Structure 1
Amino acid sequence: MSACRALRRPESRRRTTLLAACTALAALTLTACGSGDNPKSGGQTQFVQGTGGVSVVNDKSARQNAPDLSGKTLEGKELDVAKDYKGKVVVLNVWGSWCSPCRGEAKNLVTVANDYKDKGVQFVGINTRDTDPAPALRFEKEFEVPYPSLYDSGGQLLLRFPKGSLSPQSIPSTVFVDRNGKIAARAIKALTEDELRKTLDPLVAEK
């Protein structure tokens, strides 16, 4: 990768940043387009391992804050998830146009996003490892994706998830954030409509 080769440059600050990005991409590459293994909590987050690779933090006091997820979308618009969707349940889907399971779950995400838009739920994509946004934009057009995607080709946004949290660990991954901006659940595989609804319904019902 060109970013990894750039680590040989003498600028120490740039070297540190690129090393972190390469590490994140390498970790995701190991499970890219796979169903993922059983997640690890890191000893800091109390969560219940659900069936089918969906983990849930039932105790609201044990949930960790979602990181700052802001930047440009695939369309070049500025988006700040915490500010723009404050008070909403947010579904974060990590995907790539090159990923077959991502294509397989796209219609499910689109259907549920449309069904839940009037229930205080906002879907947001995090597009990663697409070095050019054009294929990702074609993907969105093909599947008529109604929600925005942050463009994160280098994996910088994924590095922001706190250690020990239910962070994205594969492509695709889906992270569910409650109305208070806390990480409530995570799936490390492509999701069906039923799995999306079963995970969302309790969060929508929370007060």
Structure 2
Amino acid sequence: MGRSRTVSAVGFAAMVVVSAAALSACDGGGSAGKGSRTEFVAGADGVSTVPKGERRLPNELRGDTLQGKHLDVADLKGKIVVINVWGSTCPPCRAEAPLFSKVARETRAKGVAFVGIDTRDASRTAGLAFEANHGVTYPSLYDPVGKLVLYGFPRGSLNPQAIPSTIVLDREGKIAARALQPLSGERLHKMIDPLIGEK
């Protein structure tokens, strides 16, 4: 029994290391191409998109926010959901945060919801300071060991691979677009606006 627990602990620790390595770059770099199950198109602007009929649901994306409230992204079905993966020590994350807050305000009435995933901070204090300093008013799930990032997206889907990463879900809750680099407000609109117009 003790050995089994030790093996499980070692296995979990290994997964955390893999997750941290996957998100080690703070420059948003990453490659796009064809997933094992989902065909997606990588645009010249660094945004990858999935045709409507080939989109997939994410796995569970739920937990406690930095403020300690429970949040389940699945409950936002019916809205377009912009998921931004960030960490408070990441300079590109700090640069894009005020722009994301602005676009969140601009698109709220059009049925767009924003959710952050703070996946780098060892305590909530740094994440809360980040939100306050950059005017972030939408909730962020607190994911210090990268569990949501590692398990929240199916293999072969448009999953986050660095910070900052941005994933957009359509109104059916399916993964529609991804960027693995910092975004301007204009480029963020280019990810969201086509989904707002979808029927």
Alpha-carbon shift at residue 17 of structure 1 (Å)? 2.2
* Aligned pairs (5 A) from 1:62-81: 62-81=54-73
2:125 is paired with a residue whose SS is helix
TM-score of the pair, normalised by structure 2: 0.94
Partner of 2:47: 54
Contact 1:41 1:166 in 2 (8 A): no
Indicate the larger mover: 42-51 or 177-186.
42-51
* Aligned pairs (5 A) from 1:1-80: 11-29=6-24, 32-57=25-50, 59-80=51-72
- 2:12 partner letter: T
CA distance in 1, matches of 2:28, 2:187: 14
TM-score of the pair, normalised by structure 1: 0.90
Q: Does 1:163 align with 2:158?
A: no
Alpha-carbon shift at residue 40 of structure 1 (Å)? 3.6
Alpha-carbon shift at residue 14 of structure 1 (Å)? 2.5
CA distance in 2, matches of 1:35, 1:15: 29
Q: 1:42 to 1:86 in 2, by over 3 A?
A: closer
Partner of 1:3: none
Deviations 1:105-147 (CA, angstroms, capped at 9, x unpaired): 1111011000001111000000011001111101100111110
Partner of 1:5: none
Query: Which stretches in structure 1 are left out of the alignment for 5+ residues?
Result: 1-7
CA distance in 2, matches of 1:95, 1:166: 16
Partner of 2:170: 178
- 1:180 partner letter: E
Contact 2:120 2:144 in 1 (8 A): yes
1:189 is paired with a residue whose SS is coil
Alpha-carbon shift at residue 13 of structure 1 (Å)? 2.3
Alpha-carbon shift at residue 9 of structure 1 (Å)? 9.6
Percent pairwise identity: 49
Partner of 1:136: 127
- 1:78 partner letter: H
Deviating beyond 4 angstroms after TM superposition, the runs of 4 or more aligned structure 1 residues are: none
CA distance in 2, matches of 1:68, 1:37: 23
Alpha-carbon shift at residue 10 of structure 1 (Å)? 5.3
CA distance in 2, matches of 1:91, 1:62: 19
What CA RMSD, in Å, does the superposition of the two structures yield over aligned residues?
A: 1.5
Alpha-carbon shift at residue 67 of structure 1 (Å)? 1.7
Alpha-carbon shift at residue 26 of structure 1 (Å)? 1.2
Contact 1:72 1:150 in 2 (8 A): yes
Indicate the larger mover: 17-26 or 156-165.
17-26
CA distance in 2, matches of 1:117, 1:201: 12
Contact 1:97 1:130 in 2 (8 A): yes
CA distance in 2, matches of 1:37, 1:154: 20
- 1:90 partner letter: V
